[in-house]
Every structure is written in structure tokens, then in C-alpha cells.
Amino acid sequence: MASARDIKRRIRSVQNSKKITKAMEMVSAAKLRKSQERTVAARPYAQRLAEALREVAAHQGDDVTHPLLAKARTGRTVYCVITADRGLAGPYNGNIIRLMNGILREADEPIGLVVVGRKGNDFFKRRGADIIGSFLNLGEEARFSNAEEIAEALMGLFVEGKAKEVKLVYTEFVSAVSLRPKVLDLLPVAPQGGSGESGGVNRSYIHIPSAKRIIEELLPKLVKNQVYQALLESKASEHAARMTAMRSASDNAQGLIEDLTLQYNRARQAGITTEILEVVGGAAALNG
């Protein structure tokens, strides 16, 4: 059995760890609040922009062409995997890596990876995956400038024929306790599924300027916005996962402190009892 001094030293160590995890939980909670507001606020614009452009493309049929709308292509599929640069975020990184790793194992054709985040980059590099691009140390907030850089790299791979399709793999933020790994088809942009085809309503539009000009101008912005939305969702999910993990660590530390305190009291009581027995024994020896 450990001595009371050793147990007390361990209690102090666990208390210090608890202070750190509690502080990290509070910091993550503050970052989550801000990130969640930005993520939720950006969703309606991203959804409506996608619906509007796909609706325009769907109603124009073969009259409007764009490199990002092309379907018949050869080459490999490229996955853009979004992870975090740091750990201590519970299962956040592991869930995305596990999903992508399963896709790689089941694939019957070559797959290229564009990795966002150091955790995913380090994992797939160790396993010899074909990493054709990486974006690291993007900071604590999702920035549109970062999304533009990533989206332009992905569109370049697609337009140059180095990728027949591009998919996003990221974590969708549902709530602070519900995070959902997701695979999104990014390129080519599919004209089907726009709001103009829902409910069997046949709508007619007059486009000013022309539909071709609208698509040429806004289609790259749609791709950039989808990447930006994925970054927002991922960053909110990362903060939520880290907050939950640090809260769990703080609770575990508190439970360990209580157990160690009980052990300390028992060891201290045992020491006092031993000292009393030694005093009584010494007194009895003197009287005898």
C-alpha cells in the first residue's frame, strides 16, 4: 500500500491536471459558441446558392456548359479530408480518419487525398496513402481565404483532368453532443436536384445576364462556398468534441481525486493506529 505522503502527492498532481482540463473546457465552450453561430448563420446562404445554380443549370440543359459541370471523365477520385491540427478532441479526428480509411480499403481504383489538418496528414502519410495536397495550421477559426485556396486547388485538379470527381469528407455539426461524419460530392457539380425540380413544378426564368454568364460567374463561388461551409462545420465539431472530452476528463479527475482521498484517509488512519499501538506497547513494556 502506498504511503500517505505518496497518495497526497498524487492527489495534488491530479488536481493540477483537473485545473488544466477545466480551463480547456471553458475555452472550447467559448470558441464553440462563436463557431456555432457562424456555422448556423452560413447554412441558408450555402443551401440557397446551391439550389439556385443547380436550378439554372437543370433548366438550360445542354445549352449551358462549364468545366465544373462535366460528367464524362477519366482519372481517379480525389477525396478532400478535413481533420484538426491538434488532438485532445475525443473521437473527432478518429471518426473521420476511420471513415476515410474504410473508403481506401474498399476502393477498387486509385484514390488521391487532399488533406486538411495535421492529424489526418500525419496518419495517412504514415500509411503510405497518395497525398497530392495538404493544408496545415489553418488556425482556430474557419476563414474564407483558406476555403478559397483549398477550393481552387480542388477545381484545378478537376479541370486539368487529374481527378474525375472530387468529394469532401468532413464532420457535420448537428449539436454539441451530436457530430456526424459526412461525404459530400463536390465535383462535378450536379444540376439535378435543384428546387425547381421539386414537387413537379415546371418553372420558367428570364436570366439577366444570360444563364451561361451566371453559371460562369457563380459556379466557382458555389464550390468555394461549399468548402467554406465544410470548414465551418468541421471547426464547430472540433470545438464541441474538445469541450466534451475535457469535461469528461475533468469528471474523471474528480472521481480519481475522491478515490485517492479515501485511500489517503485510510493510510493516515492506519498510520495513526500503528503509532498508538507502538505507544501502548512501549508503555506496557516499561510498566512490566
| Each residue's pLDDT tens digit, 179-209 | 999 999 998 887 654 433 444 445 566 666 7
Is residue 258 in some structural domain? Answer: no
- pTM, entire model: 0.83
Q: What is the pLDDT of residue 197?
A: 42
| Each residue's pLDDT tens digit, 77-121 | 999 999 999 988 989 999 999 999 999 999 888 899 999 999 999
278, pLDDT greater than 90: no
Is residue 108 in some structural domain? Answer: yes
CATH number at residue 197: 3.40.1380.10
Is residue 260 in some structural domain? Answer: no
Is residue 88 in some structural domain? Answer: yes
Q: What is the pLDDT of residue 200?
A: 45
Question: Across the chain, which distance is largest between two alpha carbons, in Å?
Answer: 116
Residues of the chain above pLDDT 90, percent: 54
> How many separate domains does the chain show?
1
Is residue 210 in some structural domain? Answer: yes
Is residue 87 in some structural domain? Answer: yes
Is residue 155 in some structural domain? Answer: yes
Domain around 191: 39-242
| Each residue's pLDDT tens digit, 150-178 | 999 999 999 888 899 999 999 999 988 88
Long-range contacts of 133-141 (CB under 8 A, 24+ apart): 133/157, 136/85, 137/85, 138/85, 138/231, 140/31, 140/235, 141/35, 141/235
| Residue keyed to cell 504511503 | 3
Sheet containing 163-175, strands listed edge to edge, beginning at the edge strand earlier in sequence: 131-135, 111-116, 76-82, 163-175, 178-187
Is residue 285 in some structural domain? Answer: no
Report the distance separating Cα 182 and Cα 67, nearest Å. 25
Counting every residue written for the chain, the total comes to 288
